[in-house]
Amino acid sequence: MDFQLSEEQRMIREMVRDFAENEIMPIASEIDREGRFPFETFKKMGDLGIMGLPWPEEYGGAGADTVCYAIAVEEISRACGSHGISYAAHISLGSSPIYLFGSEEQKRKYLTPLARGEAIGALGLTEPEAGSDAGSTKTTAVLDGNEWVINGAKSLITNGPLAETVITVAKTDPSAPGSHGISTLIVETDRPGFSVGKEEDKFGLRGSPTSQLFYEECRIPKENLLGKEGEGFGQILEVLDGGRISIGAMALGLGQAALEASVKYAKERHQFGRPIADFQAVQWMIADAATRLEAARLLVYKSAYLEDQGKKFTKEAAMGKLFASEAAELACFNAMQIYAGYGYTKDYPVERFYRDNRLTQIGEGTSEIQRLVIARQVLGAR
Ligand SMILES: Cc1cc2nc3c(=O)[nH]c(=O)nc-3n(C[C@H](O)[C@H](O)[C@H](O)COP(=O)(O)OP(=O)(O)OC[C@H]3O[C@@H](n4cnc5c(N)ncnc54)[C@H](O)[C@@H]3O)c2cc1C
């Protein structure tokens, strides 16, 4: 067993950390306050070559492994949760379905601009009536000659207002029961009949836009179907497995930011004539957060490693996301406790870490759904 990162993985961490500390961290508080998507840093992330980090170079990517990608999400999220989620959604949700299930032509046409950072991607899965029960999608796509005609609505879609392409989950066989008869399609957002609805006014991740999407007689070419008709639900489960690694990594970054802030403040802040880091109560809060984050990191990296080995990682990805989101929750909670009154104000970033991290227990399957996935893997189908 080798717990060392490879030379490439260490280099990616160093490069992304350097970029995130210089370009992202300084604007994190401002974009949160203004609710503004940072186009300027995403353009620079494209120039840095990380917008398609895990995809092959022939499609504009960097050909890095999943561990490298998890490290990149972690480092970006350590600097800013809004950047972290928009980046993770762009790669894991908006691009990976094309990489995993797309034809050669679809990869050249749609994956390449996404990987180069010339376009931003999104995934339209969640609907007003279909959240955790993603298989009950109501959006339909009906073939009419050489075109699919899509009707329906999606909600809570990350990058929804700015994506050039949205991987859209729709029922292509309305007569099929449950999650059968579902397909995934690449929708270019300049198609007539596609529109962006209300942008959500969120608790956290306020620099990452989340919105409703509407499809009204939206016509797309027949060849924009991903993979085979009717295989969409299975595809989405695979996409979500990968996505969970990225949300786990996002929690690691936010938890790490909270821990580092706690350590710094505990050494600076004096009460009763000594730094508060001298009090055992404060030391224990830091020790608990550090221990859980370290364990979470091992789980998240292990799930990424398994994906790189071509092994099944459904259980480990769900465990990693569940555990990391809760480890980060504790790190953020303890950070606010250590900063106390000042942590409760917007003068310090710990309240933002706390708000931003809350999503990691909700998006890409709630913690209850992660437990359900893990239990199914441990107990077997019941
Ligand atoms: C900031 C943000 C970004 C998002 N980005 C995207 C995106 O890019 N694309 C996309 O498609 N979606 C996105 N989502 C949607 C997200 O995936 C859903 O919110 C999530 O899957 C939960 O669905 P829901 O909110 O409808 O909750 P519901 O499914 O209504 O769940 C409500 C409660 O019931 C519990 N529950 C439901 N079913 C069960 C069960 N079987 N067993 C036990 N408990 C259960 C849940 O755990 C939860 O506590 C995003 C959401 C947010 C907040």
Q: Is 362 in the pocket of ligand 1 (CB under 6 A)?
A: yes
Cα 261 to middle of ligand 1, angstroms: 30
**Per-residue pLDDT reduced to its tens digit, 79-90:** 999 999 999 999
What is residue 41's predicted lDDT score, i.e. its pLDDT? 98
The number of residues in the chain equals 382
Q: How far apart are CA 343 and CA 312, in angstroms?
A: 41
The alpha helices in the chain, defined as continuous H runs, are: 7-19, 25-34, 39-48, 66-79, 81-88, 96-101, 104-106, 112-116, 232-268, 280-308, 314-339, 350-358, 367-379
What is residue 176's predicted lDDT score, i.e. its pLDDT? 95
Ligand 1, closest atom to CA 200?
A: 1
* Claim to verify: residue 35 and residue 19 sit in the same structural domain: yes
Q: Are 276 and 269 in contact (CB under 8 A)?
A: yes
* Claim to verify: residue 148 and residue 104 sit in the same structural domain: no
- Give the residue numbers marked as catalytic: 364
* Claim to verify: residue 266 and residue 374 sit in the same structural domain: yes
Cα 365 to middle of ligand 1, angstroms: 6
Cα 283 to middle of ligand 1, angstroms: 36
> Which range marks the domain in which residue 94 is found?
7-120
Q: Is 89 in the pocket of ligand 1 (CB under 6 A)?
A: yes
Query: Nearest 5°: phi and psi at 40?
Result: -60, -40
> Has residue 223 been placed in a domain?
yes
> Which residues on adjacent β-strands are paired with residue 143?
148
Average pLDDT over residues 173-177: 94
Confidence of residue 12 (pLDDT cuts 50, 70, 90): very high
What is residue 297's predicted lDDT score, i.e. its pLDDT? 98
Ligand 1, closest atom to CA 368?
A: 47
Residue 45 pLDDT greater than 80, yes or no: yes
* Claim to verify: residue 258 and residue 375 sit in the same structural domain: yes
What is residue 327's predicted lDDT score, i.e. its pLDDT? 98
Q: How far apart are CA 88 and CA 244, in angstroms?
A: 10
Residue 375 pLDDT greater than 90, yes or no: yes
Tell me the Ramachandran region of residue 93: left when phi exceeds 0, alpha when psi lies from -120 to 50, beta otherwise.
alpha
Ligand 1, closest atom to CA 93?
A: 8
What is residue 309's predicted lDDT score, i.e. its pLDDT? 97
What is residue 378's predicted lDDT score, i.e. its pLDDT? 97
Residue 382 pLDDT greater than 90, yes or no: no
CA atoms lying within 13 Å on the CB side of residue 12: 26
Average pLDDT over residues 124-151: 97
- Domain termination site, one of 120, 136, 165: 120
Q: Considering just the CA atoms, what is the radius of gyration of the chain in Å?
A: 21
Average pLDDT over residues 303-322: 98
In the structure encoding, which two tokens stand for residue 160, read together?
């929804």
* Claim to verify: residue 165 and residue 255 sit in the same structural domain: no
Confidence of residue 381 (pLDDT cuts 50, 70, 90): confident
Q: Is 123 in the pocket of ligand 1 (CB under 6 A)?
A: yes
Confidence of residue 364 (pLDDT cuts 50, 70, 90): very high
What is residue 108's predicted lDDT score, i.e. its pLDDT? 98
* Claim to verify: residue 156 and residue 258 sit in the same structural domain: no
CB atoms within 10 A of CB 220: 21
Average pLDDT over residues 92-109: 98
Q: Is 84 in the pocket of ligand 1 (CB under 6 A)?
A: no
> Has residue 145 been placed in a domain?
yes
Residue 355 pLDDT greater than 90, yes or no: yes
* Claim to verify: residue 173 and residue 255 sit in the same structural domain: no
What is residue 43's predicted lDDT score, i.e. its pLDDT? 97
Q: Is 80 in the pocket of ligand 1 (CB under 6 A)?
A: no
Q: Are 373 and 318 in contact (CB under 8 A)?
A: yes
- Please name the residue that has the structure tokens 């050494």: 267
Q: How do beta strands 210-221 and 225-226 pair?
A: unpaired
Ligand 1, closest atom to CA 202?
A: 1
Cα 53 to middle of ligand 1, angstroms: 27
What is residue 171's predicted lDDT score, i.e. its pLDDT? 98
Confidence of residue 7 (pLDDT cuts 50, 70, 90): very high
Q: Among 289, 218, 229, 280, which Cα is nearest to 256's?
A: 289
Residue 1 pLDDT greater than 90, yes or no: no
* Claim to verify: residue 190 and residue 161 sit in the same structural domain: yes
Q: What is the mean pLDDT of the chain?
A: 98
> Has residue 2 been placed in a domain?
no
What is residue 306's predicted lDDT score, i.e. its pLDDT? 98
**Per-residue pLDDT reduced to its tens digit, 203-259:** 999 999 999 999 999 999 999 999 999 999 999 999 999 999 999 999 999 999 999
- Domain termination site, one of 120, 140, 157: 120
Confidence of residue 104 (pLDDT cuts 50, 70, 90): very high
* Claim to verify: residue 109 and residue 141 sit in the same structural domain: no
What CATH number has the domain bearing residue 203? 2.40.110.10
Q: Is 129 in the pocket of ligand 1 (CB under 6 A)?
A: no
Domain count, the chain: 3
> Has residue 1 been placed in a domain?
no
Through-space distance between the first and last CA atoms of the chain, rounded to whole angstroms? 34
Judged on CB neighbours under 10 Å (0-12, 13-18, 19+), 219 is middle
Give the closest residue (by CA) to ligand 1 atom 45: 368
Q: How far is CA 6 from the centre of its chain?
A: 24
DSSP codes, 92-154: IIIIHHHHHH--HHHIIIIIHHHHHTSS-EEEE--BTTBSS-GGG---EEEEETTEEEEEEEE
Give the closest residue (by CA) to ligand 1 atom 23: 131
Average pLDDT over residues 120-149: 97
> Has residue 33 been placed in a domain?
yes
Q: How far apart are CA 356 and CA 345, in angstroms?
A: 15
Q: Is 136 in the pocket of ligand 1 (CB under 6 A)?
A: no
What is residue 218's predicted lDDT score, i.e. its pLDDT? 98
Q: How far apart are CA 315 and CA 189, in angstroms?
A: 34
- Domain termination site, one of 99, 120, 141: 120
